[in-house]
Chain A
Amino acid sequence: MRWPFGHPLGEPFHVAQQRAVLVEAFNALYSITTPGKIVDIPFRWKREKYNNVDTGKRSVLSLNPKSLDLQ
């Protein structure tokens, strides 16, 4: 992500954004199968509406344990 240093989870108090980043991190845990792999996620700095973000494979709104069990 092209976000400023000091903001790996996003903006202060932006819970939806922070949740979305963590969802992507956990998804990467199950989707990556080789060491050193980097996943670029498409979140633009301060230009996303996180309630409507659809990362292509799954919507953050549809977050549930089942959707995160990708293996």
Chain B
Amino acid sequence: MDISRLKNRAIARLITYFPSIAKKLVNSYTPWESENSPWTPVKKLLRDSRVAVVTTAGVHHTDQNPFNMYDKDGDPAFRVIDAIRPLSDLMITHDYYDHSDADKDINIVFPINILKEFEREGIIGSVADRHYGLMGHITGRHIHTLINVTARKVTNILKSDGVDIALLTPG
């Protein structure tokens, strides 16, 4: 692993264990802000709704291409996560947060087991067959791709899968 990746991982550990550093980092960052946010009220009961997870924690299957950690602007593409496959088929590629705990139990960033429990208990209608892994830390030129290409593609697939609720989880 090259020096830049090691440096990013070291910073990720620092901000996890020293919240004051994390706070300074967050305060120094100017996020991209939408000029207007469309609003869609919920029309279905939770017990009738189909739920999918969209995570920016860098989750993907072990046999998929990992997220690109060598582009300083991040990787704006997405990976489809098959809910039927075992958790052992999942991994995380993301140098910008410390995922050592998520590597032990991926449910803390991708709560598929809990959603399946909720489905069995009748709390939600169903868990979608397909979920989506993205990478946080998208900056610069890739912000446009994320908003105008990736988000639209994922939204269209969610609609075609009959998903009512997308649960977004960060890393």
Q: Which residues of A contact B (CB under 8 A)?
A: 2, 4-13, 15, 18-19, 22, 25-26, 29-30, 33-36, 63-65, 68-69, 71
Contacts and interface: CB of A to CB of B under 8 A. Distances in A.
A6 B109 contact: yes
B112 to A, nearest CB: 11
Interface stretch (B40-48, B83-91, B139-147): B40-48
Interface of B: 12, 15-17, 19, 22, 37-39, 41-42, 45-47, 57, 97-102, 104-105, 107-109, 111, 113-115, 117-118, 122-124, 165, 167, 169-171
A66 B115 CA distance: 17
Given A4-B17, A12-B107, A35-B38, 6 more contacts: A5-B22, A6-B57, A9-B169, A22-B114, A65-B45, A69-B46
Contacts of A8: 57, 108-109, 169-171
Contacts, number: 95
B107 to A, nearest CB: 6
Contact of A22 (B38, B41, B57, B118): B118
Contact of B109 (A9, A22, A36): A9
B123 A5 contact: no
A45 B106 CA distance: 18
A1 B143 CA distance: 26
B108 A65 contact: no
B26 to A, nearest CB: 10
Given A12-B104, A65-B122, A69-B47, A5 B39 contact: no
Given A6-B101, A6-B102, A65-B122, A22 B108 contact: no
